[in-house]
Chain A
Amino acid sequence: MGKKMSAADITYNVLCGIVFAVFSIICIFPFYYLFICTISDPSLVEVGKIVFLPKGLTLKNYREVLRLPNLGNSALVTLGRTVLGTASSLFVTSYLAYFFTRTEMWGRKFWYRAVVATMYFSAGMIPVYLNNKMLGLLNSFWIYIVPGLVGVYNMILVKTSMESVPAELEESAVLDGAGYLTRFTKIILPLQKPILATVGLFTAVGHWNDFFTTQLYITKPKLYTLQFLLYEFQNQVKNAASQINSASEAAGVGGSNIQPTGIRLTLTAIVIIPIMLVYPFIQKYYVKGVMIGAVKG
């Protein structure tokens, strides 16, 4: 800055620096701690001997986790729903957004309002559940994909972005005889890459983190996701804990199939790693996402 800092400036920088640094540590340390637990000796983790540094370095946890019978399958389901769910949702959502930008659409205002209204009004969890059950989506992989094909909020974002494309671009294509579908796929859609990246990353993270859909609609272990697997393991521990607390069945009833701490932590790490890997890309786009959202709201 070239200017000399006054005493007040120094105090401000030191005080704020400490506050923000502490909060940053609180945000990042749990991830570090989780990681060092997963590469430490499981027996030391179990009794809580790990503090700030890993002890008894080993990859045993990871080997054990990879041997879990359901893991490969769940990873495949999770990956599949994330990739397929995001890609299909992006396409259908922007498809609808494109036609809503066409002012000549019959009844456009009415349909648009009817679609947007669903953001503020819901029939409720149980009626939605009954409806999906009636549609045959119970215990089906498609429950992960089909209900989310049109993301209404994302549709608004994409539509807003499409509206900023100069009309001349499309008009010249019309003169060349291009139909709506050609104009959508060849002219409009390729111009939406930034907003699609933003929306796509958020949709993907949503897919990756979802466990409630599995909890609600899936009973077949073949269709479990990684997040749900982790949730199940946690529930086993919770149930055992409350049984012990009720003191009626003290000695390990059902305790034998509880996954050890090391396994649960390692599974957590495996679920986090992909998020960490895409995080730098998310970062590039999220500010934009928040801003369009805020401008719209």
Chain B
Amino acid sequence: MGTKKKQWNRFKVFLYALPAIALVFIFHYMPLWGWSFAFFQYKPGKSLFDCAFVGWDNFTTLFGNVVMRKNLLRVLLNTFGIHFLGYLFSPLPLLFAVFLSEMHNKKFQKFVQSVTTLPNFIGWVIIYSLVNSFFSTSGLVNNLLMGLGITSEPFNLMTSGDHVWIRMVLLQQWKNLGWSAIVYFASIAGIDQEMFEAAMVDGANRMQRIRYISIPMLIPTFFVLLIMSIGNFLNTGVDQYLAFGNALNKETIEVLDLYVYNLGIGSGQISFSVAVGIMKSAVALVLFGMANFASKKIRGTSVF
């Protein structure tokens, strides 16, 4: 093949891929033009050209205006609070996998794994329905408690604004624990069996094998997953909080993503919500850079 023909062939492959690459650009890069809204005083229904250019004013208002600042701090606190509580539970999948795989009844293991992984595939709207049937005023829990005479009045957990963070985190655990454990099950299967046998010859009992072999072998995976999650620190998604949010728990359930949604779509404050979104993207990029750097230092390979 001549070089010219070769060059053309290289370009031809690119042309084949172009429609698909174009889709990625249209839906991931093109939205960036929307950032310009943050620098105008946008009013819904108007063209951006008819709106006043305000430079960085929207950003300074976010921090300068007392109400705005209070709201921003509140939703950041909610986001951080829910995430930090979530981190407290992060060793749970590891322990779940270690302790379950040390039970030598394979059938029981399989059963527990199938059952605990199921909730991962259930959407938050459905989970709301399930939780509601347990914890609403006429739900199962209230019925049992009142039936046993433990409480005299039903409590409504669904609308309560108390302990929202921990309740949201516990629900996440219910949904994700079994699923998150899978990666550790697979790692355990990859541990050299001779290590366990050698330890047994040396007289190590089960708890010692867990303590000195299983857990140390899984710690690297644990840290990799932990580092990767740092890049997602501000991303909570909205599904769960939209499903569980209501007028009464709004103060404590509104996370950053939900705030952006409520501000932009709910109250039509497009300019401010885009400004908040830009800051979020910037912080996410820094966090991701840090995670990548940490991963390079610890593992020798970068994520990206």
Q: Which residues of A contact B (CB under 8 A)?
A: 1, 8-9, 12-13, 16-17, 19-21, 23-24, 26-28, 30-31, 33-34, 37, 46-51, 92, 95-96, 99-100, 102, 104-108, 111, 114-118, 120-132, 135, 146-147, 149-150, 152, 180-181, 205, 208-212, 215-216, 227, 230-231, 234, 238-239, 241-242, 245, 261, 264-265, 268, 271-272, 275, 279, 282-283, 286-287, 290-291, 294, 297
Contact = CB atoms under 8 A, between A and B. Distances in A.
Interface in B22-69: 23-35, 37
B115 interface: yes
Contacts of A21: 112
Contact of B13 (A105, A128, A146, A210): A105
A212 to B, nearest CB: 6
Contacts of B121: 205, 209, 275, 279, 282
A152 B304 CA distance: 13
Contacts of B126: 209, 227, 230, 268, 271-272
B34 A128 contact: yes
7 contacts: A24-B115, A51-B143, A104-B6, A131-B27, A131-B34, A146-B27, A150-B23
A127 B131 CA distance: 34
B131 to A, nearest CB: 8
Contacts of A180: 12-13, 16
A279 to B, nearest CB: 6
B277 A51 contact: no
B183 A291 contact: yes
Contacts of A212: 238-239, 242
Contact of A209 (B123, B133, B284): B123
A27 B118 contact: yes
Contacts of B179: 290
Given A126-B270, A265-B133, 16 more contacts: A48-B139, A48-B140, A105-B17, A126-B34, A127-B37, A129-B265, A147-B27, A227-B123, A238-B247, A241-B158, A245-B159, A271-B126, A272-B126, A282-B121, A287-B186, A291-B183
Nearest to B247: A242
A27 B115 contact: yes
Q: Looking at chain A's contact residues, is the secondary structure mostly helix, strand, loop, or mixed?
A: helix
A211 B238 CA distance: 10
Tier of interface size on chain B: 35 or more
A127 B246 contact: no
Nearest 8 pairs of A and B residues by beta carbon? A127-B34, A124-B277, A209-B123, A48-B138, A99-B17, A96-B20, A123-B31, A131-B31
B206 A123 contact: no
Given A118-B28, A127-B32, A128-B31, A106 B14 contact: yes
Contacts of B166: none
Contacts of A294: 183, 186, 221
A92 B212 CA distance: 47
B123 A265 contact: no
Given A12-B206, A96-B20, A279-B121, A111 B30 contact: no
B266 to A, nearest CB: 11
B293 interface: no
